[in-house]
Amino acid sequence: MTQIRIAVFGAGGVGGYFGAMLARAGFPVAMIARGEHLRAIREHGLRVQTAGGEFTVRPWHATDAPAEAGPVDAILIGAKAWQVPQAAEAVRPMVGPATQVVPLQNGVDAAEQLAQALGREHVTGGLCRLIASIAAPGVIRLGGVEPVVVLGDLEGGELPAAAGALYQAFRAAGVKVQVASDIQAALWDKLLFIAAVSGAGAVARATIGETRQCPPTRALLQQIMEEVAAVANKRGVRLPGDAAARALALIDNLPAEGTASMQRDIADGKPSELEAINGAVARFGKQLGVPTPANAFVYAALLPQEIRAREKSSSG
């Protein structure tokens, strides 16, 4: 198997977990992080806590300067959705002639944003499913959901060589990885799920178990998903007819104490992916003439706090 070099831009819960798994399998991984988290990784390595135990890895590089890593074969973008345009500029020193950049954050816009900045030939579509967070500087805690990565060519063809090598690297690292023949449908399928869990959970300030058990918030979950499906269909995205039903069944099987990352960021007073999730559904719906009252309500209810969190972040 080809020994590819991999960079993770944004080594938080998502990027940190997958980067650590790849590093543990022996792949050279450069982790781009900052602040106390970066200092802890440099001094003690990156520790990953799971229900089955924990492990620590020391990445090939741990830095806040992508140029120190130089060109790599594949770059995982673990930054939040609103940080993708800045991430696209920041990773340029790591992009070589055949490098593939794979976005893993929530939302459906990241791949196109990266393609516009770096060239479509350098971008492979991607998404992931997991519950993970930074428990402390240098420590990633995994929740009770099996992590999955999905890769897909933006044009629906075969994966580019570097993305194919990344797929094999994930398999070698013990990460469940899939290839989507229609990555846009896969992204919208995830958006349908995450908009419901994030939006309903955030406005109700409740866990997944509480949200799905309470009849009014369960109805809100369902309405949010049905609106996402309607917008996707209007955009020509080929979602399965039972997408909402399958997503609700998945929600019913999630750990009851779980919460979505957007919800956790909002609860902590941090900038969140609200604009890229429920805000995007409401925005696309307005453009296409598709009613999205539930998503518009969630967006309106959470926007003042989002604005406050962004102002605090920019001034701090």
Separation between Cα atoms, residue 14 and residue 101, nearest integer Å: 15
What is residue 257's three-state secondary structure? coil
CATH of the domain at 114: 3.40.50.720
Asked whether residue 1 is assigned to any structural domain, the reply reads no
Same domain, 166 and 192: no
Asked whether residue 168 is assigned to any structural domain, the reply reads yes
In this prediction, residue 160 carries a pLDDT of 96
Query: What residue ranges of the chain have pLDDT lower than 70?
Result: 1-2, 316
Catalogue the E-assigned strands of 79-179.
95-103, 125-129, 132-136, 139-142, 148-152, 176-179
Asked whether residue 60 is assigned to any structural domain, the reply reads yes
Domain that holds residue 295: 184-315
Domain finish residue from 181, 207, 236: 181
Residues 6+ apart with CB under 8 A from 197: 208, 211, 221, 251, 254, 260, 263
Same domain, 234 and 264: yes
pTM listed for this prediction: 0.94
In this prediction, residue 316 carries a pLDDT of 59
Output the average pLDDT for the chain.
96
Q: Between β-strands 125-129 and 148-152, what pairing exists: parallel, antiparallel or unpaired?
A: antiparallel
Separation between Cα atoms, residue 77 and residue 112, nearest integer Å: 13
Q: Between β-strands 125-129 and 46-50, what pairing exists: parallel, antiparallel or unpaired?
A: unpaired
Asked whether residue 22 is assigned to any structural domain, the reply reads yes
- φ/ψ (deg, to 5) at 6: -130, 140
Cα–Cα distances in Å, from 192 out to 6, 56, 76, 228?
30, 34, 23, 5
CATH of the domain at 270: 1.10.1040.10
- Would you give the distance in Å from CA 255 to the centre of its chain? 19
Same domain, 165 and 258: no
Same domain, 153 and 262: no
Same domain, 309 and 241: yes
Separation between Cα atoms, residue 274 and residue 253, nearest integer Å: 24
Cα–Cα distances in Å, from 220 out to 135, 210, 227, 259, 295?
30, 13, 11, 16, 9
Domain finish residue from 126, 152, 181: 181
Same domain, 170 and 49: yes
In this prediction, residue 1 carries a pLDDT of 52
In this prediction, residue 313 carries a pLDDT of 84
Cβ neighbours of 54 (radius 10 Å): 13
Domain finish residue from 136, 153, 181: 181
Nearest to 123 by CA among 136, 135, 109, 133: 109
Q: How many domains does the chain have?
A: 2
